[in-house]
Structures are given as structure tokens and as C-alpha cells.
Amino acid sequence: MKIFKWEKASKSGRNLAFKELFINFLGPILICIICFALIYTVISEISLLEAVGSSPFIKEKSGKVLLLFFLFPFTLFFLASIQKLLNYKSEYLMTGFVKGLFIALSLFPLLVIPFNLYIESYIKSNGYTYCNWYTSPSFRGPDVWLKNDELCLQDGSVITSDVTDWFEQKNQQGIEPTINELEVFIQETRAEYNR
């Protein structure tokens, strides 16, 4: 079965209602934005995983890499929208979109747990320890891994976003944080919040 086929549609694009033209015009733009967001998310997560071993702090959400499965069906939808705008039949691509979306929706939940376990074992094998004090309680929040487990302080659990931002600044500067610096930062930040 062909997925991509160029056949002229029977009705003219001029006969389409304004609402349908509006949807067909916004569809490709919206799908294009979604595709760029997926690509950006995957690339940023892969670059974070490449920092394993060289960075004292890692904020990891490796399941996002599997969002790459959704790129193919959304690309088919984008092409179908373009075909519709150019007055061609888009049924073949829409069928491919539905099938691709079904496959992606099936593969994502099946592979996310094994993939996360693999990434966690990779991070642990590089000498990192999981810090539950800095990890957000939210399901969507990233996991925090530290090269030096002594930097995982319970006092920082109240201000996790500030602490993770501080670690990210140290990563960007290429500075290995010390426990004393972290304790001072936590005390100063908590004092500001208490005011």
C-alpha cells in the first residue's frame, strides 16, 4: 500500500468553506511547531546525557528521547495538510498518520520503563547517585543525579528549583561545587525566603 500518492482532489479548493481552509492552513503550521518542539526536546535530552561523566550534576528525564517515535506520524500529517491545501487527495497520508500514531502510542509506554532503567544504570555506572532531596515530587519533574553524593543535602529540599539552578550555573562555569558553598547558598536563599 502506498503511503504517499499525488492525486488531484475532485472538488476545487475554492469551494472549501472558510473554516476548512483556516484549519488546513493552520494545521501544517501547528504540526511544524510540534515537530520542532519534539526535535528540540530530544536533542536537549541527548546533549544532557552526553554530559554524563564530565558534569558534577545531571538533571535527567530520559523518557523524552522516546518522543522521537511521534515525529514520523506528525510529519505525515504535515504532508497531508500540504496536500489538502494544494487540492490533492490526502487520504493515504492520513491513513499513514493514524497507523503511525497508533504504533507510536503503543511503543512509547512499552519502551519508556526499560529505556529509563537502561539510562539510570548507565548514569550509576559513571559514578552518579540519585538525589531524592532535589528531585521534584512531580511525575513530570526531572531526576537529579550528583557525582558527589555529599552534595545531596536535605536542607535544599525546600528550595529545589533554586538549588538545581545553582548547580546548573556551576556546570556552565565548569566549577566543581563544594559542600561549604552549597550550604552557604542554601542558608542565604532560605533566609531570603523567610523574609
Kindly state whether residue 156 falls inside one of the protein's structural domains: no
**pLDDT for the residue numbered 7:** 66
pLDDT tens across 49-103, in order?
787 777 788 888 777 788 888 888 888 888 888 887 777 777 888 888 889 899 9
Considering its fold, how many domains does the chain have in total? 1
Question: pLDDT tens-digit profile of 159-188?
Answer: 777 888 888 888 788 778 888 888 888 888
| 163: its cell numbers | 538549588
Structural domain span for residue 39? 13-147
Residue 34 lies in a domain: yes
- Asked, for residue 125, whether it belongs to a domain, the answer is yes
On whether residue 3 sits in a domain, the answer given is no
Q: Which residue has 494544494 as its cell numbers?
A: 86
Do the beta carbons of residue 148 and residue 126 sit within 8 Å? no
pTM: 0.69
On whether residue 77 sits in a domain, the answer given is: yes
Spatial CB neighbours of 195, under 8 Å, sequence gap ≥ 6:
none
- Please report, as a single letter, which amino acid is at residue 72: F
